[in-house]
């Protein structure tokens, strides 16, 4: 199987797996225990915290370990909104955000908050001017670093600058960008930044929220003082150890891998255009993650394409939702005003550290065969 779905999840690096196995064998005590064994475990947790902080350009005491990007997004958005409730009950987020962010906003809606969505342009970039139109009483704005479907990098620093000028705190979901482009919380200007290990060679179930020292945060998991009172529950020690090492390894290799993978993507997109002159690459005019291609083939539906690709040994993803024999366009592409007939055929190919030039060449032949098969199956909305 040629795996071109690294934006969904990456293989765990062997070094990370080895470190986690050692932690499972040797670090059995509770890191909150005062005895020697407990403190030995605590030292490994803090070592991982230092690695995450270095990876994100943050202070060690700003790192909060969580179970994944979804929990991190909820803790930041809901936790900030609750902490600032007296200042207003309105939140905002970009229309392009991940479902986790929409979910946090919906939870707040059930608690009495209202929300606004910031629009994007046709290239898939959130429009900074939209921040100026947010209503008074907006307390937190959520903007992603890189879109998980198109790979388009967002103008986070400019959005944050405008928001902070109005007293609005900023949350950045950096889950898809971390490990592919450099993340520095100070340069982003965000109060809260979330990253997740399984996107860059770490384990699933281990992630981090960077909460700046002055950022208000009301904990969602309560009843204990874990993570300096910001997230209750005994730490996932093996996962945290793996996350920390994955951060260190990804940070050391990031520039070289970005250049190599970017060249492979360029070759892949050139091959797609040569074989399918009518294909449309979404967000291609914007700055994107070096590994991501979101493409539509007119006349080929996404669910048919995925089946044809999988049958031929190629793993990819689609943003369209398929149900009852019909497909619905990705909300991301809909926000970009991509025509429905194109949006229902969009596929995401995402390369990774293990992707080779030979795999790209083979993938191009597979895609050509799959497009022919899917077009033969016909398009039904």
Q: What is the pLDDT of residue 140?
A: 98
Alpha-carbon span 279 to 351, nearest angstrom: 19
Q: Which of 342, 332, 331 lies closest to 286, judged by CA?
A: 332
DSSP state of 285: T
Domain 254-377 has CATH 3.90.1150.10: yes
* pLDDT category of residue 329 using cuts at 50, 70 and 90: confident
pLDDT at residue 221 is higher than 50:
yes
Alpha-carbon span 3 to 83, nearest angstrom: 42
Mean pLDDT of 246-253: 98
Angle at which helices 237-275 and 357-377 cross, to 10°:
70
Residues 254-266 pLDDT 10s: 999 999 999 999 9
Residues 55-98 pLDDT 10s: 999 999 999 999 999 999 999 999 999 999 999 999 999 999 99
> What are the domain boundaries of the chain?
14-250, 254-377
Structural contact between residues 174 and 282, judged by C-beta atoms closer than 8 angstroms: no
Q: What is the pLDDT of residue 380?
A: 42
Residues 6+ apart with CB under 8 A from 270: none
Domain 14-250, architecture per CATH: 3-Layer(aba) Sandwich (3.40)
Set 80, 120, 247, 322: catalytic member = 322
Alpha-carbon span 34 to 107, nearest angstrom: 38
**Catalytic residue flag (residue 172):** no
Alpha-carbon span 344 to 346, nearest angstrom: 6
Structural contact between residues 78 and 109, judged by C-beta atoms closer than 8 angstroms: no
Q: 127 is written with which tokens? A: 């429009």
Mean pLDDT of 277-283: 98
Beta strands in the chain (DSSP E): 2-3, 63-66, 90-94, 114-118, 138-144, 169-173, 192-196, 207-211, 280-281, 292-296, 314-315, 317-318, 321-323, 326-328, 346-350
Structural contact between residues 286 and 124, judged by C-beta atoms closer than 8 angstroms: yes
Q: What is the pLDDT of residue 327?
A: 73
Structural contact between residues 238 and 27, judged by C-beta atoms closer than 8 angstroms: yes
Q: How far is CA 101 from the centre of its chain?
A: 11
């Amino acid at each position: 199987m040629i795996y071109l779905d690294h934006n969904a999840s990456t293989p765990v690096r062997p070094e990370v797996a080895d470190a986690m196995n050692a932690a499972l064998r040797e670090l059995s005590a509770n890191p909150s225990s005062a005895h020697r064994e407990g403190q030995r475990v605590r030292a490994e947790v803090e070592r991982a915290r230092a690695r995450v902080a270095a990876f994100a350009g943050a202070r060690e005491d700003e790192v909060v370990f969580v179970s994944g990007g979804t929990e991190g997004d909820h803790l930041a958005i809901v936790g900030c909104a609750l902490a600032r409730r007296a200042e207003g009950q309105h939140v905002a987020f970009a229309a392009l955000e991940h479902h986790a962010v929409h979910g946090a906003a919906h939870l707040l809606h059930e608690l009495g908050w209202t929300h606004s969505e910031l629009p994007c342009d046709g290239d898939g970039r959130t429009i900074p001017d939209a921040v100026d139109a947010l209503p008074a009483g907006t307390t937190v704005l959520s903007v992603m670093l890189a879109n998980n479907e198109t790979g388009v990098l967002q103008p986070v620093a400019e959005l944050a600058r405008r928001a902070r000028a109005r007293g609005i705190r900023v949350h950045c979901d950096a889950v898809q960008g971390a490990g592919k482009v450099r993340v520095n919380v100070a340069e982003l200007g965000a109060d809260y930044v979330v990253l997740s290990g399984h996107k860059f060679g770490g384990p699933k179930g281990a992630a981090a929220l960077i909460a700046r020292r002055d950022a208000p945060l009301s904990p969602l998991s309560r009843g204990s003082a874990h993570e300096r009172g910001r997230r209750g529950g005994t730490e996932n020690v093996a996962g945290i150890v793996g996350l920390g090492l994955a951060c260190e390894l990804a940070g050391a290799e990031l520039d070289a891998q970005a250049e190599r993978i970017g060249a492979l993507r360029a070759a892949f997109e050139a091959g797609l255009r040569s074989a399918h002159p009518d294909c449309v690459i979404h967000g291609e005019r914007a700055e994107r993650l070096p590994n991501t291609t979101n493409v539509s083939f007119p006349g080929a539906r996404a669910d048919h394409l995925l089946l044809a690709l999988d049958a031929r040994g190629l793993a990819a993803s689609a943003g369209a939702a398929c149900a009852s024999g019909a497909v619905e366009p990705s909300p991301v592409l809909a926000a970009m005003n991509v025509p429905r007939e194109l949006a229902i055929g969009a596929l995401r190919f995402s390369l990774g550290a293990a992707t080779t030039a030979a795999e790209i060449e083979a993938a191009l032949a597979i895609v050509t065969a799959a497009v022919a098969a899917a077009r033969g199956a016909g398009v039904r909305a």
